């Protein structure tokens, strides 16, 4: 494991690079980086500037695939209640939502075009968590771009967790893609969606090989989930979380943290990271990192996927479709449809 400081601006970022010296070099390998860094909250242009610096640093390590955390663009509203109690919403909470809505991005839109250009400029496959704005509804979304600078598509989180359901809409079966790329088959599932076995099964059936899991979960149990998915799916799992402190959010009273006995100090880690990369055999290749902002990089030996599938192919030789089967409804669901 090699450690080197990087320069993304602000606090130092640590890059963790696992060179996989023992891997079979005759097999196809992919160098992948997961980014563990905080949003510049309420400032989307500054967040995109920070993203470019981090992408450039990852590309400097020879990375071909770069994964960012859940809603890196737009931000994860840790501690915010949006002024909600059962039966009422405060004026401040409504204003908080207005500002959050303003920091979100349209898909497609100028921010998507910039991200596509960054992927092409640095020649990386880019997987980026964003807050998507569709009219007045927001979605927790992952965007994917190829190394030629082409926007490939999006995945909207199917089931926001707990209070997230108040400020994010629900995705549907039309946005659960797996992209067949020169690096392998790549897809993304967001945070606690990863606990939905039927959704995972849908991705396994699409042949996912590099499973991206951007998250906001820094609990130790998250690592167990990621290891299980790597073993169950016979795939590489990349999970990226933000590392952010109280000072990365606006100060009170503009932004206040609920769920605490008292306002956290500026240096309090409100999300301590835990990003990691795990192989199909369950081996941890990089991370988990709980120390600060970081780039975690590993070489993925794609031959490991075949070796793992020999043991267990969940939708292949280990499936029993005459007993258990899954139907996925892939049509987009609209609240209003117009006919001629």
Which residues, listed in sequence order, are joined to residue 5 by a DSSP beta bridge? 14
271 is catalytic: no
* Count of all residues that appear for the chain in the document: 340
Distance CA 98, CA 13 (A): 32
Instruction: From the candidates 16, 70, 111, 193, give the one annotated as an active-site residue.
Output: 70
70 is catalytic: yes
Instruction: From the candidates 157, 193, 244, 271, give the one annotated as an active-site residue.
Output: 157
Beta strands in 111-258 (DSSP E): 125-134, 137-145, 151-156, 178-181, 184-188, 210-212, 236-239, 243-245
Distance CA 293, CA 286 (A): 14
Cα-based distances in Å from 321 to 314, 318, 325: 11, 10, 5
Instruction: From the candidates 57, 191, 193, 244, give the one annotated as an active-site residue.
Output: 191
291 is catalytic: no
DSSP state of 105: B
The Cβ of residue 46 has, within 10 Å, a number of other Cβ atoms equal to 13
Which residues are known catalytic residues?
Answer: 70, 157, 191
């Amino acid at each position: 494991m090699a450690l080197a400081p990087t320069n993304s601006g602000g606090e130092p970022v640590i890059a963790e690079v696992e060179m996989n010296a023992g891997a079979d070099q005759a097999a196809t390998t992919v160098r992948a980086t997961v980014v563990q860094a905080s949003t510049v909250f309420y400032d989307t242009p500054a967040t995109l500037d920070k993203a470019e610096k981090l992408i450039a640093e990852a590309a400097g390590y020879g990375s071909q695939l770069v994964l960012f955390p859940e809603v890196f663009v737009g931000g994860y509203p840790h501690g915010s209640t949006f002024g909600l109690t059962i039966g009422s919403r405060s004026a401040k909470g409504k204003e908080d939502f207005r500002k959050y809505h303003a920091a979100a991005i349209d898909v497609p839109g100028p921010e998507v075009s910039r991200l596509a250009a960054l992927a092409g400029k640095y020649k990386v496959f880019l997987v980026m968590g964003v807050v998507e704005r569709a009219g007045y509804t927001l979605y927790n979304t992952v965007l994917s771009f190829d190394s030629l600078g082409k926007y490939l598509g999006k995945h909207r989180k199917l089931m926001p967790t707990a209070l997230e359901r108040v400020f994010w809409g629900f995705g549907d079966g039309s946005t659960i893609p797996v992209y067949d790329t020169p690096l392998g088959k790549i897809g993304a599932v967001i945070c606690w969606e990863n606990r939905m076995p039927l959704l995972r099964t849908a991705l396994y059936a699409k042949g996912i090989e590099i499973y991206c899991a951007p998250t906001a979960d820094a609990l130790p149990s998250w690592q167990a989930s990621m290891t299980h998915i790597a073993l169950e799916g016979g795939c590489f799992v990349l999970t990226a979380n933000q590392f952010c402190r109280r000072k990365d959010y606006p100060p009170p009273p503009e932004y206040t943290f609920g769920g605490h006995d008292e306002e956290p100090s500026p240096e309090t880690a409100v999300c301590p990271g835990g990003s990691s990369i795990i192989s199909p055999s369950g081996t941890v290749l990089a991370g988990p990192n709980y120390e600060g902002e970081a780039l975690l990089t590993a070489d993925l030996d794609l031959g490991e996927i075949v070796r793992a599938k020999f043991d267990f192919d969940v939708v292949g030789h280990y499936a029993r479709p005459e007993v258990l089967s899954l139907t996925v409804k892939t049509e987009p669901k609209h609240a209003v449809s117009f006919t001629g």
